[in-house]
Structure 1
Amino acid sequence: MSAQGFLATRAVCSRIYPRRAHASHARRVVAMAATTEPRTSIAELLSSCVDAARKGCDEIRAVQERRAASGALASTRKDADDPRSALTEADTNAQRAIVNALKATWPTLNIVGEEEDEPLDPSLARQLKKDVCDVSSSPPIASWTEPTSSLTVFVDPVDGTREFVEGRLEAVQCLIGVAFRGRAVGGVVGLPFPENAEEPIIVWGVAQPGATSGVSGAIGGGATDVPQRARLSDANDGLICVTGDSKNESLAAARESVRAAADVVIGGAGNKILALADGRADVALMHFGTSLWDTCAPEAVLRARGGKITDLLGAPLVHDPSRPGGLINDLGVLATSANASKIDPDGRDHAALAATMRADPRLRTLLKRYVGEVDSGGSEGAGARASDIARCLRGAPVAASWVGERIVSTLCGETADGEDAPFTLAGYVAPEEGAFRGLMSDACRLELHWEGGDAASGGMPATAFYKKVVLGDLDHARTKAKTAPLKLSRDVGSAAVEAGFLACPSVLAALNDAGVRVPRCFDADLRPCDDDLIESKFALLLEDFAPAQGWKQERLLTPSQARASLTALAKMHATFMPAAAAARVGVDGDVGEDELLSAVTGAVWPSGAYWQPDMQPAEQMTTLKSIWNDTHLPAFKDAFKERLPELGADVDTIGERLQDVAVDVGAASHPFGPGQAVPEWAQKWKTLIHGDAKSANIFLREDASAPEGWEVGLIDFQWMGFGLGAVDAAHVLLASVDPQTLGYAADDIAHTDPDAPVKLMDHYHVQLCEALAANGAAASAEKAANIWTREETQRQYEAAVLDFCRVIFAYQWVRVKASPQSLKENESSMNKNSYNKSIANAMWVVKECDAVLKKRAAA
């Protein structure tokens, strides 16, 4: 695929869209540009951290030796009321030795230490080794480098200072962690006083972002890997949970959520997490005063050994010193070992434990300063919360004050600041019900609580919708980065397209005039990363089509719902066709052709629809025959015989016949791609298409006055771009409707009305012509039908059917391992397309493909 096949990420994401006509706020766009700055080897840096930790351990042991000889240890408290804030000369001496050596070896490295920074001491500026850690077992890690500016080293010279002061030396550790763009990737845990060893042991681990394991090892005391130690409890019927002696009520609630067979109190943040890596325990909980330097190093070690760490609510810890909330892990820490789910009697993994905690009202008090008083503690609003999703792109919970300001600013045109704001949001609730955790995005509904009783009458919404794409946190995105990097590039562009489209006021005004409902965009935060696409992040705060307002989604569309949806799409298509835009030129108060179409051009894909050839691997065009013969024919053999007997042996050649025309129908269905010469016939049909009009992206609300009795709202515009309207209409029939809409009887077997799809396309064409007449593109619907004919619409539909079948057969059915059994298992899915969850729909797709191929061959 050529580079022209995509909108360049920077071109899409760094564009500042026009200010809203009714609100003085511009879209916030933050771009991380590609860079040629020096890069650092992670393995070499980790080796230096191991060497530095040895120096730190030596300083700690030296202080202990002097203490043993004199019987005294000088210490103070940073917080007079907190024994955990003890500070000794071991802390300052160890940090001085570590930081000076690291700075001498890596002069430009960003280092964050627990103790206050001191001027560098030249006498301690020794070069550290860079070849200590053997990562040869993992070539990707061995060759791994990152821009130096994207790395931060966190140093806790003495983790467990309180334990050191009290003489519990086995709990004392020296921690040095390496974070890459906020993710803990390398960790060194120095044990100055290890059990059964005369010298310090330095444990290290490294794991790439998103990896479920990595490489670990140990140096000193005869160890070569994380020493496996005896279990902390004799309990053999469940989890061992380690925690501190805090009496905090929220921490107690978290312990109850774990339901461990044994709760064991041990000191030191790093010691607790290391207990999971070395086999002593299975779950670790930490109080709300630990800092990033407490968790960075042990998280990396635990991740290298297959474990996982988040805050108590399941969101990743962000090891970034500039993050909102500062350096404190104010939402606690939950860590689990690699084997926790195997040991737990209920088989709960890390995600399940975090979900349990999100459902506990006692833990909602942690969110009070972010979400407001409306969802803090108590038993009101029973049910789990999606508080792991409702996070800003820097990891902190979304602030109610920010949500309110964005909404009021958009709707009222006010700055919405302090006492001048016409309305104030008291808080919000993010219920788990209605949340969406997808392969490439997460989203949740925010139930809004406004101060005073006049907000509703003033037009303030009761809910909003928050959609977040943090690619680095999504397993599917990381897999795609390795196996299909071009698709990841496409996905990054798609997130920017949706934000750009929804933030374009002239476009939304035109749709509103046409009676097409799309959500208003209250805020769009785009943070692309050109030099590492997987680190790109996007967030949208949108108007919500809420159930409380009568909106709903259907698993598959009924006949009336399908017609209503086709009507909405036809109105949208008519709005952006050249003749319609030209008809508006010079009309007072309306948008002229140049302004509207240039705004659209700057916001969307030059050619819409995710399945178009420019957005798919080229081999889809050449592998259809083999995939059909080797995969789909065997998988659906019995279904074809039972449900499509009329096809006979013709079913065997569908893959071959489709492959023969795949290139031609792809070009015919998507004639507006970059670098393509647009055929003359296509120019008058060029319009804006949704590009993924599946049932999950269509909201419906009963309305007797609306077409077909349904008001339609469209969402998810990631694949919005220029195209042929019939492509959207074909997608509705192929992917979104129930079998009865396609003419099947209630048993989903007998095809009692085979003309039903034709009638749906008739309906679409009629609605398109009426909309073109209504917006001035034609003098009447009849004259519109003479210009944009039903026959040509049918030809476009048929090409679209074949083109879409190409991506179904060559990719989608392969990816989901489609079979009658898999379709049955997916029957209740809301998000999957019809041919992946209904055998009747799947058979109709095959039947329609065969019919169109035969018609094309006979022409």
Structure 2
Amino acid sequence: VAGAIGLPFPGGTLSEPTSVVWGIAAPGATSGVTGIVGEAPKRPRLSPETKGGVVCITGDSKNASLTAAKRAVDAAGNAMIGGAGNKILAVAEGRAEVALMHFGTSLWDTCAPEAVLRAAGGKVTDLFGAPLVHDPSRPGGLINDLGVLATGHDIASIDAKGRDHAAMAAAMRSDEGLREALLKRFTGEASNTPGANEAQATDIARSLEGAPLEASWVGERIAETLCGGQNDFKLTGYAAPETSAIRGLMSDACRLELVWDGEGSAAGMPSTVFYKKVNLGDLEYARTKSVTQPMKIARDVKSAGVEAAFLACEPVASALAAAGVKVPRCFNADLRPREDDPIESSFALLLEDFAPQQGWRSERLLSPSQARASLTALARLHATFMPAAAAARTDGKPNEDVLLAGVTAAIWPSGAYWQPDMQPASQMTELAQIWRNIHLPNFEKAFAAELPKDVEYASLGDRLQEVAVSVGGESHPFGLDAPSGGESDGWAARWRTVIHGDAKSANIFLRENPDEKDGWEVGLIDFQWMGFGLGAVDAAHVLCASCDPEALGYDETGKIVDERAGSALLDHYYSELITALATNGAAASVEEAAATWTREEVQKQYEAAVLDMCRVVFGYQWVRVKASPETLAANFNSMNRNSYNKSLPNAMWLVGECDALLKKRAGAQT
């Protein structure tokens, strides 16, 4: 991103030669290179009477919204100068820390100055923190109708409250007057929703062109999906409370609280939806990763497209609903992949919401009954897409199955983020060294105190490294970049199905329902790593990453009291799988299903999957989180981390299970 600003009168008089200030920064970078052609002007700091603190510059507009924005900045000093470029340049030169533009500037006024300021380490957005999108199709055209906020590189160190650019924008989003004046024409009337009076995630609730979502559009998408093209339901407004916002490294999301007209409210139209937006080109983390880890950023970009395409596939949604597998209904999918430049890909999804108001919740870890309910949902998912189920749907012609064709076009050829083809090859060769030099010193006291005496933890890294390649191939037998041959021939072909690929507790929503066998309805989210694989891999992930210690046989003191608890969960998964296969016609009866897809085979797949999971946990994840008993304790309350990264009993269970399975494998080969 490059820009140049010509200064015909750099010192304010006609006698001085002209100069040109320029800046250039890599896309998404927080700084770059600046320079000047000609003599650098020696211009004083604005508001010289201000002794310390932030200086904010604006024009002479008396606009009430601009006044409110100045109030949110709460600067120590204020100054007025003309010209959008002049204001932003003053911030880049350090003569002020904040510049606010009125609501009539155009993108051509701000584009070159933005490049110069970004190169100097500053930032430019609209008042609410959303990027200025240079897209001629943007509703509202090329006008910066939501104002402009520009801040210098050192704003946080100078501001009396220590606020950076993001915090300044958050202050704007908290200002009810600003929201009313600038956003109500988009969001409509939603003053009676629970979150209407708090700060709003108005920087997230945007189209891919950068404009705020319009209430009429949101309502039309929902009503058309639920009721068909002809309906009289009208959305009068929405709120996007900041408390619901998720600002991730690779995506942003928020809940929209909806207000329908009388008919829509009476008809039971949804009171909330979930909006998820992936625009990697705007995220510094993604830009940096594209340089430092190009293999992983290409993978991450593809994963965003996988989730969007999966949720947008109507045949898949219908089939899963029929099987009793709840995933968010997709009301709208805006998919813009860029194969020529993947990081410029963007996706936006308007989804059904597993909202707390409807009784849904996620758990830090899954209780025994919640683990069983989750395994039931996964078993039904797996059974739906197995080849025998496709054959049953098509009178023995699975290659003609519309459902299988639809999902194949949407998901990874091989699912699960930790599969060897999605990880560096060094994970296979450095396990022994990492275990010996890092994990053994960090955990040795805990291993000695917590593990059964027969667990040979000292040599575990060496033994796991010896089988890492083998168990990786067994657990993920289908090709990622090209077919492996196992898709249609060999032992794995009849087990080939669609797997979730990241069935951690944070991706499982639960709602109490006494009519369900284990008392819970299950809703699955986050399908970025969904692809073809073995169902036992998902089941193993639930046991390794998602279960509460009680579900694995521990008591409240952290001691194992039921050594068969893990096996019982796998028994439950298998029972639900063969039941679902009999129900969907893949087998004539549960007995026939059990004879065709045996428990012994599931056990072998599970064992390889656990060992393969240990490869990525010990070889990468524990290194990344600096795992130790102390860090696990510090992570205890985390909702998003996997169990072995926040619970010492779970970590010990995984080490013990790894040791037992390595010994079993070694014994079978002698």
Which bracket does the TM-score occupy, shorter chain normalised? over 0.9
Query: Which residue of the other structure, out of 10, 20, 25, is the alignment partner of 1:207?
Result: 25
- Change in 2 beyond 3 A, CA 1:821/1:511: same
Matches within 5 A, 1:383-532: 383-414=198-229, 421-451=231-261, 453-532=262-341
**Cα distance, 1:348 vs structure 2:** 1.2
1:327 corresponds to which of 142, 158, 162: 142
Match of 2:453 in 1: 646
1:686 aligned residue: 496
How far 1:850 moved relative to its partner?
Answer: 1.7
Structure 1: stretches of 5+ with no match in the other structure: 1-183
Quote the offset at 1:777 in angstroms.
Answer: 2.3
- Of 359, 365, 370, the residue aligned with 2:186 is 370
Shift of 1:771: 1.4
- One-letter amino acid of the counterpart of residue 305, structure 2: A
For the residues of structure 2 that align with 1:379 and 1:596, how far apart are their CA atoms?
40
**How many Å separate the matches in 2 of 1:354 and 1:362?**
14
Q: Which of these residues, 798, 808, 818, is aligned with residue 607 of structure 2? A: 798
- Equivalent in 351, 356, 365 of residue 542 of structure 1: 351
Summarize deviations over 1:21-66 as a string: whole Å, max 9, x none: xxxxxxxxxxxxxxxxxxxxxxxxxxxxxxxxxxxxxxxxxxxxxx
| Deviates most, 610-619 or 195-204 | 195-204
Aligned sequence identity (%): 65
CA distance in 2, matches of 1:826, 1:325: 45
Letter in 2 for 1:659: Q
Q: Secondary structure at the match of 1:606?
A: coil
Indicate the residue corresponding to 1:764 in structure 2: 573
In 2, the alpha carbon distance for the partners of 1:270 and 1:723 equals 55
Partner of 2:67: 252
Deviation at 1:615, TM superposition (A): 1.9
Q: Could you tell me how far apart the structure 2 residues matched to 1:834 and 1:653 are? A: 23
What is the alpha-carbon distance in structure 2 between the residues aligned to residue 622 and residue 213 of structure 1?
37
- What is the rounded CA distance, in whole Å, between the counterparts of 2:259 and 2:305 in structure 1? 30
Report the alpha carbon displacement of residue 469 of structure 1 after superposing the two structures with TM.
Answer: 0.6
Q: Secondary structure at the match of 1:707?
A: coil
Cα distance in 2 for residues equivalent to 1:658 and 1:327: 58
Counterpart for residue 537 of structure 2: 727
Question: Contact 2:46–2:79 (CA<8 Å) still a contact in 1?
Answer: no
The CA deviation at 1:386 is: 0.9
SS in 1 for 2:190: helix
- Are the equivalent residues in 2 in contact too, given 1:370–1:397 (CA < 8 A)? yes
Which amino acid is 1:267 matched to? G
Distance in 1 separating the partners of 2:42 and 2:371: 62
Retained in 2: the 8 A contact 1:584–1:592? no
Q: Given that residues 393 and 401 in structure 2 are in contact (C-alpha distance below 8 angstroms), is that contact kept between their aligned partners in structure 1? A: no
Distance 2:2 2:553 in 1: 56
Q: Partner of 2:453: helix, strand, or coil?
A: helix
Give how far 1:791 is off.
1.6
In the superposition, relative to structure 1, how do residues 634 and 380 fare at CA in structure 2: closer, same or farther (>3 Å)? closer
Query: What is the CA–CA distance in structure 2 between the aligned matches of 1:700 and 1:811, rounded to whole Å?
Result: 30
Mapped partners of 1:380, 1:484: distance in 2: 39
Q: 1:656 aligns with which of 457, 462, 469?
A: 462
Please, what TM-score do these two structures have when normalized by structure 2?
0.94
**Letter matched to residue 528 of structure 1:** P
**Mapped partners of 2:524, 2:398: distance in 1:** 22
Distance across 2 between alignment mates of 1:463 and 1:659? 48
SS of 2:522's partner is: strand
CA pair 527-379 structure 1, distance change in 2 beyond 3 A: closer
CA distance in 2, matches of 1:593, 1:580: 12
Aligned to 1:315: 130
Q: 1:676 to 1:246 in 2, by over 3 A?
A: same
Equivalent pair of 1:185/1:209 in contact (CA under 8 Å): no
Change (3 A) 1:811 1:789: same
Deviation (angstroms), 1:218: 1.5
**Correspondence list, 1:164-243, <5 A:** 185-194=2-11, 198-221=16-39, 223=40, 229-243=44-58
Q: Counterpart of 1:186 in structure 2: which amino acid? A: G
Helix, strand or coil at the partner of 2:78:
strand
- 1:505 is matched by which residue type in structure 2? E
Listed one character per residue, the Cα deviations across residues 189-214 of structure 1 (whole Å, up to 9, x for unaligned) are 42524258822232111111111111
Amino acid at match of 1:346: K
1:134-153 correspondence to structure 2 within 5 Å: none
- 1:672 equivalenced with 2:478 (yes/no): yes
Change (3 A) 1:275 1:574: same
Cα offset for 1:237? 4.5
* Distance of 2:636 and 2:7 partners within structure 1: 53
Amino acid aligned to 1:288: F
Deviations 1:558-594 (A, max 9, x none): 111111111111111111122223233359xx99962
CA–CA separation in structure 2 for the residues paired with 1:849 and 1:379: 48
Question: Residue type matched to 1:737 in 2?
Answer: C
Deviations 1:742-781 (A, max 9, x none): 222223x322223211111111111112212222223332
The answer to whether the aligner puts 1:703 opposite 2:513 as a matched pair is yes
Cα contact 2:66–2:102 (8 A) shared by 1: yes
Is the counterpart of residue 718 in structure 1 residue 528 in structure 2? yes
Deviation at 1:379, TM superposition (A): 12
Q: Contact between 1:188 and 1:205, CA under 8 Å: does it hold in 2?
A: no
For residue 322 of structure 1, report the CA deviation from its aligned partner.
3.8
Q: Structure 2 CA distance, aligned partners of 1:347 and 1:427?
A: 35
Instruction: Output one character per residue of 1:160-209: Cα deviation in whole Å (capped at 9) or x when no partner.
Output: xxxxxxxxxxxxxxxxxxxxxxxx54332425242588222321111111
Name the CA distance, whole Å, in 2 between partners of 1:296 and 1:447: 34
Flag the 1:641–1:241 CA change in 2: closer, same or farther, 3 A: farther
- Deviation (angstroms), 1:402: 1.8
Equivalent of 1:606, from 404, 408, 413? 413
- Structure 1 residue 354: Cα displacement: 1.0
The alignment partner of 1:607 has SS state of coil
Cα distance in 2, alignment partners of residues 686 and 399 from structure 1? 43
Q: 1:780 to 1:380 in 2, by over 3 A?
A: closer
Q: Which residue of 2 aligns with 1:813?
A: 622
Alpha-carbon contact 1:237-1:345 (below 8 Å) kept: no
Question: Larger radius of gyration, structure 1 or 2?
Answer: 1
Per the TM alignment, residue 320 of structure 1 is displaced from its structure 2 partner at its CA by 3.4
Are 1:427 and 1:449, in contact at CA under 8 Å, matched by a contact in 2?
yes
Amino acid at match of 1:709: G
Which amino acid in the other structure matches residue 203 of structure 2? D
Asked whether the equivalents of residues 231 and 279 of structure 1 are also in contact (C-alpha less than 8 Å), the reply is no
Corresponding position of 1:336? 151
**Residue in 2 that maps onto 1:120:** none
**Residues 280-291 of structure 1: matches in 2 within 5 Å?**
280-291=95-106
In structure 2, what residue type is equivalent to 1:369? Answer: R
Q: Counterpart of 1:620?
A: 427
Q: Tell me which amino acid in the other structure corresponds to 2:233.
A: F
Taking only aligned residues, the RMSD between alpha carbons, in angstroms, comes to 2.4
Q: Give, as a single letter, the amino acid of the residue that structure 2 aligns with 1:230.
A: R
SS in 2 for 1:202: strand
- 1 CA distance for matches of 2:329 and 2:317? 8
